Amino acid sequence: MKINEIIARLKRGNERFVKDRLALENQGSNRRQDVIKGQNPLAIILGCADSRVVPELIFDTGIGELFVVRVAGNVANTSTIASIEYAVAHLETKVIVVLSHQSCGAVTAAVVGGDNGVNLNHLLALITPAIADSGENATVDDISRKNAQLTVMELAHQSHIISNAVKNDSLKIIPAYYNLDTGIVEYLV
């Protein structure tokens, strides 16, 4: 499937989700049997660990259709980048969606600041460039959008596998923002 076809499929799946008309395909025992020997996901989703953000539902996909990497604040750290590199290099996945969302708790924690312990402080530090680039009057949602855009750049900057695939036109990375209240995914391009 071509890159534009994959993006169009994700958009159609989100439209079905928003309209409460999920196709619910590729979710049963037959699909489980189909993917035993391997996976060929349509897209990689780098999303937040927030329990309200479920990429498989948001894009109305089934088993084996998305390679989902979740971490609070949808940040590009060593582990998330390595997971994405695996899907790009070994599964030849052609689309990465960096999916931020409304009312992100990790972004809120980064804005509030303070000492959250060594591990969470490390993670929140990856969000601070988005705070700095968003301006004084930016809301948490503005910063969340900016964070997705900066994460797209960080993925290509921190990984030769990802940057080479982008340069060769075999991979597209898209920042996106999920609205909790409407269910709509906005593509920030």
* pLDDT value, residue 117: 96
* pLDDT value, residue 133: 97
Give me the residues of the chain with pLDDT under 70, please.
none
* pLDDT value, residue 24: 83
* pLDDT value, residue 28: 87
Q: For the chain, what percentages of helix, strand and coil (3-state, to nearest 5) are there?
A: 50, 15, 35
Instruction: Give 15's contacts (C-beta < 8 A, 6+ positions apart).
Output: none
Tell me how far the alpha carbon of residue 160 is from its chain's centroid: 19
Most distant CA pair in the chain, distance: 52
* pLDDT value, residue 25: 87
Tell me the whole-structure pTM to 2 decimals.
0.96
Averaged pLDDT of the chain: 97
